[in-house]
Structure 1
Amino acid sequence: RHMPAPARALPFVLAVEAMRRSGWLEPPAALNGHTFRLTVEDIGLEVRFRCVDGRFAPGPFDGSASDLTLRAKVADYLRLISGDADTDTLFFQRRLSISGDTELGLEVKYWLDAAPRPTWVGPFAARLSVLFPAPASAS
């Protein structure tokens, strides 16, 4: 929390931009020009980023509102990334909160659910989940 917001955002943005460049997370055109906030509740992390010309970039950090905010705990993001849970399941279990532009939220939801996942993602997320176990009711 004591690290400046741009420094907190950079590793995440570099990772998703690398995934985009590898063809895994190609953003739909509807994301272009929008700002996003990703909050990881249990570790107190908030990342702000945007989609510019089909690429992911950090920011803005000027205090302006994001067009869309996603909130969850590490274990739930790992379940989403690995494909063990979809956005609807996490949303209706109140484990994923999506707020802001409703139409944009639907685009992001469909995009995340449909994104192809490399074969290594499931085992990688499973290894990370040992560090951030989900409560028994989340499985």
Structure 2
Amino acid sequence: MSAALQVPALFAKLGRRIPPPLVSMHCVAALELARRFKWLLPPQELDGRSFAITVEDLGLRSCFAVRDGAFRPVWNGAPSDLELGAKLADLLSLMRAETDADTLFFQRRLRISGDTELGLIVKNWLDAAPRPTWLQRSGAASV
């Protein structure tokens, strides 16, 4: 899928100009919506932990935390416990369960830094999370 979705470099330049709190607010709104529909319920081990996701080819970085089982934006710019970064196509492939995190990581298409134990918890959680039907690509295997 990566070869099919190439984002123009101009978008990355524009994306880096968008304030991270604005990006975080939108990302957290999507995560909260998924949580409320029970598509993505964070495990207890994530409570009180902070995360950053960077969409590298768009230049977008979102920072958030899990507090009391809910996703909340992080505004202060403090370092995150776990940082994930990948291109848009790879993140979409991961969300659709077309590719697993291990494959992306070992192909150097998923960058992970920070707390390695937390990274393993997040990986196992995302691998086990059911995908809503609309997110699954037609013909893709169900998780």
**TM-score (structure 2 length as normaliser):** 0.82
Q: Give the corresponding residue for 1:83.
A: 97
Q: Which residue of 2 aligns with 1:137?
A: none
Mapped to 2, the partners of 1:74 and 1:106 lie a distance apart of 21
Counterpart for residue 112 of structure 2: 98
Q: How do 1:109-120 residues align onto structure 2 when only pairs under 5 Å count?
A: 109-120=123-134
% identical aligned pairs: 56
Describe the superposition over 1:49-78 as per-residue Cα deviations: whole angstroms up to 9, x where unpaired. 00000000111x323110000010000000
Separation in 1 of the partners of 2:112 and 2:37? 26
Instruction: Look up the match of 2:20.
Output: 5
Corresponding letter in the other structure for 2:65? R
The CA deviation at 1:86 is: 0.7
Cross-structure match for 2:11? none
CA RMSD of aligned residues (A): 1.5
Mapped partners of 2:39, 2:77: distance in 1: 30
Structure 1 residue 88: Cα displacement: 0.8
Residue 135 of structure 1: aligned partner: none
Mapping 1:1-139, distance limit 5 Å: 1-59=16-74, 61-123=75-137
Q: Distance in 1 between matches of 2:84 and 2:17?
A: 22
Whole-angstrom distance in 2 between the partners of 1:10 and 1:65? 17
Matched residues in 1 for 2:77 and 2:95: separation? 28
Larger helix share, 1 or 2: 1
CA distance in 1, matches of 2:111, 2:20: 21
Q: Give the unaligned 5+ runs of structure 2.
A: 1-15
CA distances 1:6-64 after superposition (whole Å, capped 9, x unpaired): 111111110011001111100011110001000111010100000000000111x3231
Task: Name the amino acid aligned to 2:71.
Answer: F
**Structure 1 length-normalised TM:** 0.85
C-alpha distance in structure 2 between counterparts of 1:83 and 1:75, whole Å: 12
Number of equivalent positions: 124
